[in-house]
Structure 1
């Protein structure tokens, strides 16, 4: 047994036990009041926009929490965000709430007069109390940044304990136990988080002892601070502990195989009912046990609960609440869609018949048409944008090369003419005569070059190839400062030794390393001192400097959530980015590290950007600061910023909202000529909701990049000018659309000319990807390169950087009102997003505000499912475009089928990373020899695949959760909900087929699985005018498969040819064929040497995978 004492708990215990029970105070927070600091004027119960009313009539409910009234006559329970009461013998339930608020987890007060529950009706999940008839709703807790769940009354009825969830750098809410007086207040902490402020482990499901002297609760007792996936739930994941409210002692009460969750104390206080995980040989189940607190004997009274959430994060609780009857002879619980009563002595179980008729208001799902392939498009993603020292020219990078724009005339042109390598990271010399930049060639690797500001051929100044970023001239123009990074993932690992910050003569020569670590190196006023930044902890970035020998280190500023620093050329000012906005302040020196943030009071700090800021730069004379995002370059003079500057303008508070538009029209890639694909079985997916159209001995005519005719051989004339390809014996399907496809498009913003990851996707027939979390600059620049034909890849769409609720500089997205939401949605749409991803924001009003902003800007919202079932359900009600990731619960029932089926909200379960059990990816490692997949190994480095696949874990099939998730997906698809494949970037192209195969395991026919992989995904993403079917007028994106995939879905990976945008590729080699003969160049790992990833690259990729949540 373990014990822990807290002086605070002693005080709490005295308070709970000693005070007399009052009536609920008249000044308790009412339903019309909102949480402190919450959004004023936003009504969760009536968000803006169109509403629809749907009707649900069901005898089944899903994941219902319940309680039994103290007199034993009634049951109160939740279903789809509303509370209901009915006689304990069953019958038609009466609604206690019926609004757009999400009301869950009801608990009767000890006197039976009130019900405590959790509701987001005032903005976020908080504790509320109402009368037993549903009247007089009163808010008790007023948490703003945290969420509370699992209410439990103290026996005297004056306190309510809850689980409080708090997010950290990761949005998995670490749990603690908090207690509120029924009259309100901030509450008192009882049991703090297990490992302090950074803990992601759950402490949940409080329950008072019979005498009120203790609180029992469940605890994630696995090792470490981080919450982890794929835990062994047959081991002791959770245990039940007690907290003595007088002494602060903590004691482990129940622990063992299968864990122990949801402690529920018997009326006489002599035993505790709880749930543990068991394997019955057919499936993973929950079992209901009772532990005698005197003898320690544990008795199973029921086996067959729906599997618990011990392997998920259990943010709202690990299993639905259940209750004793007042006489202690029975337990009432929910399982398999119905309510049950079990006699504890005999174990006899009786179903409690239930009918719920409900009307719910929903908001129609957001969905907007995407113009997939216009003949020309506007290039939006300009990087490293800056203004020349003379103020006449804008310099930026786009489409892989450097461009300049004459500000007066608006004319845009390339700075150089070469096409041998890509160009990155430009920077002017202080005199404006030269530009330094880095380059990348897959064949020759990287270099640093200097070119005249008037253009021409760049001169290499580095003596060795490498991976180079962030070059800048010294103030005197004699030297160039830069950072050397490492390769070995997307880029060759050769020449990756000795990374760090270097200095080299501007005319060329041997480079000298100054320091080993640091970001964004640059000079201030002194050519003998450099500035750089480092992360000092999870949320703070620090600006430091050293001399050219790497000595005399000084720390100047430290900022919470600061993403970047830039010192002015005269050394008198410092600019920084915080929460995506740009700020500037005088460079104040005291010999100490100064705190710097928005709202700093010690010295002037001014926000200058109205819209998002990135790529900080200063004019050479320090008179103005520039920043950029997407296609817009902004400039702000110091005279417009600070009133104390000589010549200051009258208004120094107005934020800069207008800038220089760097976008330009670019012709999209389009092949010439006509191709006829003759003899194959064509699975058109045309009118797929109503028929299964299959054309044997089919003909597909493609002109340029579109299908001009589809028919049967002998019935469709093939023009003599067409290139004919005989595809007899093969099956043609629309190109696969991976609706949830993460992946790397660059390394430190350097991009390869041939991205092996995307070649692999194409080789498996994936022609369109939608990436719901990535580096905005990398993914949108990649999308434009693909559209222009400068690189070979699937059509690439993304949300860019997620709207993140966790605490991380450059990623945390604070949203307190609609204006904040509009700011963040705009910055992403400006950069090229077709959708945004609301990522685990705990407050519902925030999620609704993102939806409203997106609706106004005509962009879709694909929220992170986050293993939060209750939030997933109100995402549907609120009209999100879809739900990304699996529902964490094991089964759904008629109530959800009816509700979801009456919406247009899509579902992308990502079977390969399915929440709640062992993920699908692990299944396919166990059951297939992935490292022997010739296609995969042709396009992916062996050191990426083999360590992950050769020695898999092993478990019975019933332990793999993706099969349950696929069954749920099949239920929903049968009700009209579109279901889409989402391979999550887990295994390059091959995992898209794992998604199809997983669907077949869940009951989809091969045709139905292919429908999900094609037209369903196109509809979901608003691309069905151009993609998803094989018919006249559609884009020629096809996968041509060896064999009959309709007979065996496992043949889907046997792609012979991939057609994208009318270009035909031999899928085995990814050489272009058809009307062209373009050979792919060798990848760096095909040279036989296979230089391994440098440890720094491995660390960078691991961090990147966690940052963008490619790795869960």
Structure 2
């Protein structure tokens, strides 16, 4: 397409654009602390030490009672009476049969991936309360907090040694490498991952009967085999691949009797849990529909899926599925919900916004998208508006403050369809006369829209998704979407 000079419909306009144009991911995202250079400088003048609990930008309160969530990690107490789980950056505890959850952490810090100690008296978890992710332990009787990993780099995803006298975790080094570490409760560390560097090593699960560690190693692309479960011999230091399969093998979780390994797998588009007999190597899927794992997103140092856990009786797995916490009977595969009510009470930093100055009059666009030839002319998107070129002259068809994408033309009926996004109005699909006139909204449910197409009979089809459609992202980046059709 030749270069086209476009006359902007909004001379001297200042467009206020949010840092995130749309929904960044299918789960609720909370920005716990957002640093602004000027505010940070003032804060440092007022205090000798930076504290994550201090607000460093304007905040708004967020308070509600949650009965569901995404990417919830669970653990069952050794006596089988309690469940600990994370939700929106805090740790909660509730009775095993469900009910009102008690928050174990408060404030602005981000706290995730809880694990009970073998005697049930403590909970280990990952927290950024010291300014970076570290391993922390909460004494449930005294409520005393202890930082275990005294490191200068992030350390995440704690698991307990069988004796309860040490924790395992994964560090993210400054050169981008990943190390598996063992910490005693005084913070002294021992590296146990010699020879494995830049691929994440997470979910270290001790098997004391065999003097080995199972762990998840994301060292293969998903199209190859995905994550693999490996073992580390605690006597010889030898590392071997234990389980690999199409769709990956991740999040190894050993049963209380040490005979069965539960782990995650991607079965086509579903994330499932497999139970694997360590003696016979026989295995089967016991539940599907878990929150989608993150294998295809490259190095992910928190692990590719949330924690799952065994009940001490070895008969049930407790995990998050479909926004709920559930117990899965391993023998019968019956799933039952464990309902919860958790008070979410946080301060959320306001979205950072920037002002962009648009040039006045005419300007040259350097990027054209969704360009296609129609009987009326060439239709395309540039500078967030929909244009048509008629006899070599561009004409703005929309000229609105919204960010508009995915234009299609019904030439027989003289109609233009397109998707739009604004922070205030969210996503919409519009129809307007090609020759001019006000638009009408044909789809406005709070979502993002894209990939519009027209059938020969004028039927409109489009994708309704959750993450990257508003800025023209590719469909393969969508984790979940709907294909919608609207007849004339």
Please state which band the TM-score falls in when normalised by the shorter chain. 0.5 to 0.7
Contact 1:97–1:134 under 8 Å retained in 2:
no
1:1050-1075 CA-partner distances (Å, limit 9, x unpaired): xxxxxxxxxxxxxxxxxxxxxxxxxx
- Alpha-carbon distance between aligned partners in 1 of 2:352 and 2:105, rounded to the nearest angstrom: 26
- Alpha-carbon distance between aligned partners in 2 of 1:352 and 1:238, rounded to the nearest angstrom: 29
Contact 1:120–1:126 under 8 Å retained in 2:
yes
The residue aligned with 1:215 is: 213
1:588-646 CA-partner distances (Å, limit 9, x unpaired): xxxxxxxxxxxxxxxxxxxxxxxxxxxxxxxxxxxxxxxxxxxxxxxxxxxxxxxxxxx
Give structure 2 stretches of 5+ with no counterpart.
1-46, 362-394, 404-412, 423-445, 454-461
Q: Is 1:309 the counterpart of 2:294 in the alignment?
A: yes
The residue aligned with 1:152 is: 159
Task: Name which of 54, 68, 84 aligns with 1:60.
Answer: 68
How far has the Cα of 1:368 moved from its partner? 3.5
Query: Which 4+ stretches in 1 moved above 3 angstroms?
Result: 680-688, 728-737, 1001-1006
The residue aligned with 1:434 is: none
Q: Is 1:126 the counterpart of 2:103 in the alignment?
A: no
- Alpha-carbon distance between aligned partners in 1 of 2:280 and 2:421, rounded to the nearest angstrom: 60
Secondary structure of 1:184 counterpart: coil
- Alpha-carbon distance between aligned partners in 2 of 1:334 and 1:207, rounded to the nearest angstrom: 20
User: Judging changes above 3 Å, is the alpha-carbon distance between structure 1 residues 687 and 147 closer, same or farther for their aligned structure 2 residues?
Assistant: closer
- Alpha-carbon distance between aligned partners in 2 of 1:370 and 1:255, rounded to the nearest angstrom: 50
The residue aligned with 2:182 is: 179
User: Judging changes above 3 Å, is the alpha-carbon distance between structure 1 residues 130 and 967 closer, same or farther for their aligned structure 2 residues?
Assistant: same
How far has the Cα of 1:140 moved from its partner? 0.9
How far has the Cα of 1:252 moved from its partner? 2.3
Q: Is 1:273 the counterpart of 2:275 in the alignment?
A: no
1:249-269 CA-partner distances (Å, limit 9, x unpaired): 223222222221111111111
User: Judging changes above 3 Å, is the alpha-carbon distance between structure 1 residues 681 and 360 closer, same or farther for their aligned structure 2 residues?
Assistant: same
- Alpha-carbon distance between aligned partners in 1 of 2:483 and 2:230, rounded to the nearest angstrom: 44
- Alpha-carbon distance between aligned partners in 1 of 2:179 and 2:263, rounded to the nearest angstrom: 19
Task: Name which of 167, 171, 187 aligns with 1:164.
Answer: 171
Secondary structure of 1:311 counterpart: helix
1:55-101 CA-partner distances (Å, limit 9, x unpaired): 13221111011110011011100011100001111112111112110
The residue aligned with 2:105 is: 97
1:670-690 CA-partner distances (Å, limit 9, x unpaired): xxxxxxxxxx996565799xx
Contact 2:181–2:191 under 8 Å retained in 1:
yes
The residue aligned with 1:240 is: 229
Q: Is 1:967 the counterpart of 2:475 in the alignment?
A: no
Give the TM-score, by structure 2 length.
0.67
Q: Is 1:341 the counterpart of 2:363 in the alignment?
A: no
Contact 2:402–2:420 under 8 Å retained in 1:
no
Secondary structure of 1:42 counterpart: coil
User: Judging changes above 3 Å, is the alpha-carbon distance between structure 1 residues 193 and 317 closer, same or farther for their aligned structure 2 residues?
Assistant: farther
How far has the Cα of 1:337 moved from its partner? 0.6
The residue aligned with 2:275 is: 290
The structure in which a higher percent of residues are helix is 1
The residue aligned with 2:314 is: 328
Contact 2:201–2:301 under 8 Å retained in 1:
no
The residue aligned with 1:259 is: 248
1:839-897 CA-partner distances (Å, limit 9, x unpaired): xxxxxxxxxxxxxxxxxxxxxxxxxxxxxxxxxxxxxxxxxxxxxxxxxxxxxxxxxxx
- Alpha-carbon distance between aligned partners in 2 of 1:96 and 1:49, rounded to the nearest angstrom: 25
User: Judging changes above 3 Å, is the alpha-carbon distance between structure 1 residues 998 and 329 closer, same or farther for their aligned structure 2 residues?
Assistant: closer
- Alpha-carbon distance between aligned partners in 2 of 1:998 and 1:267, rounded to the nearest angstrom: 38
The residue aligned with 1:205 is: 203
The structure in which a higher percent of residues are strand is 2
- Alpha-carbon distance between aligned partners in 1 of 2:419 and 2:70, rounded to the nearest angstrom: 36
Larger radius of gyration: 1
User: Judging changes above 3 Å, is the alpha-carbon distance between structure 1 residues 733 and 88 closer, same or farther for their aligned structure 2 residues?
Assistant: closer
The residue aligned with 1:706 is: none
Aligned Cα root-mean-square deviation (Å): 3.7
Contact 1:207–1:216 under 8 Å retained in 2:
yes
User: Judging changes above 3 Å, is the alpha-carbon distance between structure 1 residues 315 and 982 closer, same or farther for their aligned structure 2 residues?
Assistant: farther
- Alpha-carbon distance between aligned partners in 1 of 2:257 and 2:420, rounded to the nearest angstrom: 64
Q: How many aligned positions are there?
A: 367
The residue aligned with 1:361 is: 347
Give the TM-score, by structure 1 length.
0.31
Q: Is 1:42 the counterpart of 2:50 in the alignment?
A: yes
- Alpha-carbon distance between aligned partners in 1 of 2:166 and 2:88, rounded to the nearest angstrom: 27
1:1036-1091 CA-partner distances (Å, limit 9, x unpaired): xxxxxxxxxx999xxxxxxxxxxxxxxxxxxxxxxxxxxxxxxxxxxxxxxxxxxx
Contact 1:161–1:206 under 8 Å retained in 2:
yes
- Alpha-carbon distance between aligned partners in 1 of 2:154 and 2:98, rounded to the nearest angstrom: 32
Contact 2:402–2:421 under 8 Å retained in 1:
no
User: Judging changes above 3 Å, is the alpha-carbon distance between structure 1 residues 219 and 732 closer, same or farther for their aligned structure 2 residues?
Assistant: closer
The residue aligned with 1:1100 is: none
The residue aligned with 1:860 is: none
Secondary structure of 1:143 counterpart: coil
Task: Name which of 342, 362, 373 aligns with 2:359.
Answer: 373
- Alpha-carbon distance between aligned partners in 2 of 1:683 and 1:998, rounded to the nearest angstrom: 28
User: Judging changes above 3 Å, is the alpha-carbon distance between structure 1 residues 294 and 998 closer, same or farther for their aligned structure 2 residues?
Assistant: closer
- Alpha-carbon distance between aligned partners in 2 of 1:732 and 1:351, rounded to the nearest angstrom: 43
Secondary structure of 1:57 counterpart: strand
Secondary structure of 2:159 counterpart: strand
- Alpha-carbon distance between aligned partners in 2 of 1:1047 and 1:45, rounded to the nearest angstrom: 53
Contact 1:265–1:273 under 8 Å retained in 2:
yes
The residue aligned with 1:85 is: 93
The residue aligned with 1:190 is: 192
User: Judging changes above 3 Å, is the alpha-carbon distance between structure 1 residues 51 and 160 closer, same or farther for their aligned structure 2 residues?
Assistant: same
